[in-house]
């Protein structure tokens, strides 16, 4: 097999191109393949009709997949046609976008590498190219993925907040708890921020299809959903209710430890799931429980609250909560009464959580993955860089060129 035929098969650019020259530079470990358009006609991108070749554009050198560990470049001149309206247009190629300096195959390979490494700098080093090239591929991939995305069947969403810049700023994460992916993010967590995020992301008819919104008890998010999605049920995930209850129990412990030395260094004993306590922690817990301290009573209140999630129906949940709330008031423990009032104010969302399978656990997991993106990327100069990285790695977008 001749060299040109061998490289023609490797490139697989179709029958419209032939190889004219191959230069191998062993010193720089580069291969330059010069190709030439061999047809007398081409398809006009404006009219989609076959027209005669008018001339050729300037010579271009674009990066292709490496061959035999040599950086490989394709050199060519893009044909231009003159259509029936005497308008001159460059033909479109299936294997490269005329606006970039690399082939589709190179772009796809970079996307694969980025998804594995989650690091633009390392990926640039691996391909022996610049950070700017890798970053541009990432931006193009996200833009392409968003343009292909179909949000018409979204029935449930999650809203959550995430801090950045050392916790000094926040952005709102909009995610899909069914597909387990991020839909979009916006800087800020105010009502106007959440409103802009929802109305920018979804069309009116798509918003009308959303029936469940999972979130924490952040008032601006609740206000936004009540205005923009009045038909949707707000769901307060049990993760967040547990967080409020745990905080209250620990506040009780902090007050009581001043007079009860036995409570020293027991914070995690009362916050941890009882079944996950070590043998020593369990012995300590039972010892404290026998004394019947306020901390133990607060823990019982916290644990009893979990029963609301076992009721199955809304009316049973409401009945269970009514008894739990009365018992909490009767305890006289101010920290627990305060959190009970919080639960009362958000009872509708809590009950919705108890009778639906939609939770904010997916959003919490995505938050953890977002933190990994942040750590690997060693921070971002602006929110747009953060947004594109999050959508690239956590958006489950269709990003490849094919």
Nearest to 209 by CA among 220, 221, 201, 217: 201
Q: How high is the pLDDT of residue 367? A: 62
Q: For residue 309, give the DSSP letter.
A: G
Assess contact for 392 and 181: CB atoms under 8 A: no
Whether 275 shows a pLDDT value over 90: the answer reads no
This prediction has a pTM of: 0.82
| Listed residue (41, 47, 1, 38) closest to 18, CA to CA | 38
Q: Is the CB of residue 390 less than 8 Å from the CB of residue 371?
A: no
Label residues 139-155 b or e (16+ Cβ within 10 Å = b).
Answer: ebbbebbbeeeebeebe
**Structure confidence by residue, pLDDT tens digits, 131-171:** 999 999 999 999 999 999 999 999 999 998 888 766 678 88
Between the alpha carbon of residue 346 and those of residues 120, 220, 343, 350, 357, the distances in Å are 43, 14, 5, 6, 18
pLDDT tier, 276 (very low <50, low <70, confident <90, very high otherwise): confident
Q: Cα dist. 136→30, 39, 120, 183 in Å?
A: 23, 32, 10, 21
**What digits encode the pLDDT tens for the residues 233-249?**
999 988 889 999 999 99
End-to-end Cα distance, the chain: 30
CB atoms within 10 A of CB 260: 16
Q: Which residues does 133 contact at the CB level (< 8 Å), separation at least 6?
A: 63, 101, 102, 124
Residue range 304-339, pLDDT digits in tens? 999 999 998 999 999 999 999 999 999 999 999 999
pLDDT per position as a tens digit, 82-118 = 988 889 999 999 899 989 999 999 999 999 999 999 8
Q: What is the pLDDT of residue 308?
A: 96
Contacts of 320 (CB under 8 A, 6+ apart): 307, 308, 311
Which pLDDT score is estimated for 374?
Answer: 59
Q: What is the DSSP string of 144-155?
A: HHHHH---TT--
Quickly state the pLDDT bin for 288 (edges 50, 70, 90).
confident
Lowest mean pLDDT among 60-64, 159-163, 350-354, 383-387: 383-387
In whole angstroms, what is the distance from residue 389 CA to residue 8 CA?
36
> Which residues, in sequence order, are CB contacts of 77 under 8 Å at separation 6+?
36, 37, 56, 57, 58, 59, 60
- Cβ atoms of 350 and 309 closer than 8 Å: no
């Amino acid at each position: 097999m001749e060299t040109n035929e061998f490289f023609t098969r490797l490139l697989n650019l179709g029958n419209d191109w032939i190889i004219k020259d191959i230069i191998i530079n062993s010193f720089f470990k580069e291969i330059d393949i010069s190709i030439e358009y061999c047809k007398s006609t081409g398809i006009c991108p404006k009219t989609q009709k076959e027209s005669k070749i008018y001339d050729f554009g300037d010579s271009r050198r674009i990066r292709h997949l490496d061959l035999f560990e040599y950086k490989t470049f394709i050199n060519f001149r893009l044909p231009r046609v003159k259509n029936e309206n005497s308008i001159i247009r460059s033909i479109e190629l299936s294997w490269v976008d005329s606006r970039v300096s690399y082939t589709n195959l190179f772009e796809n390979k970079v996307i694969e590498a980025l998804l594995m490494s989650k690091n633009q700098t390392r990926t640039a080093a691996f391909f022996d190219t610049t950070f700017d090239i890798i970053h541009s591929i990432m931006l193009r991939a996200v833009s392409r993925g968003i343009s292909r995305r179909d949000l018409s069947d979204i029935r449930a969403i999650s809203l959550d907040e995430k801090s950045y810049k050392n916790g000094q700023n926040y952005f709102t994460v909009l995610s899909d708890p069914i597909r387990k992916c991020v839909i979009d993010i916006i800087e800020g967590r105010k009502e106007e921020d959440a409103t802009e995020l929802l109305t920018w992301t979804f069309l009116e008819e798509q918003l009308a299809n959303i029936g469940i919104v999972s979130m924490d008890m952040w008032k601006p998010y609740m206000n936004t959903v009540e205005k923009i999605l009045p038909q949707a049920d707000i769901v307060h995930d049990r993760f967040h209710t547990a967080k409020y209850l745990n905080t209250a129990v620990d506040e009780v412990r902090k007050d009581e430890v001043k007079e009860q030395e036995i409570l020293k260094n027991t914070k995690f004993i009362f916050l941890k799931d009882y079944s996950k306590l070590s043998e020593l922690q369990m012995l300590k817990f039972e010892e404290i429980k026998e004394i019947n301290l306020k901390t133990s009573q607060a823990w019982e209140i916290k644990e009893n609250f979990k029963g609301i999630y076992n009721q199955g129906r809304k009316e049973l949940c409401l009945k269970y909560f009514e008894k739990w709330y009365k018992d909490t008031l009767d305890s006289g423990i101010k920290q627990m009464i305060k959190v009970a009032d919080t639960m009362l104010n958000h009872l509708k969302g809590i009950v919705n959580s108890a009778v639906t399978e939609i939770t904010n656990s997916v959003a919490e997991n995505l938050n953890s993955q977002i933190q990994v993106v942040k750590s690997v990327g060693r921070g971002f100069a602006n929110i747009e860089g953060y947004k594109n990285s999050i959508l690239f790695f956590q958006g489950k977008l269709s990003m490849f060129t094919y």
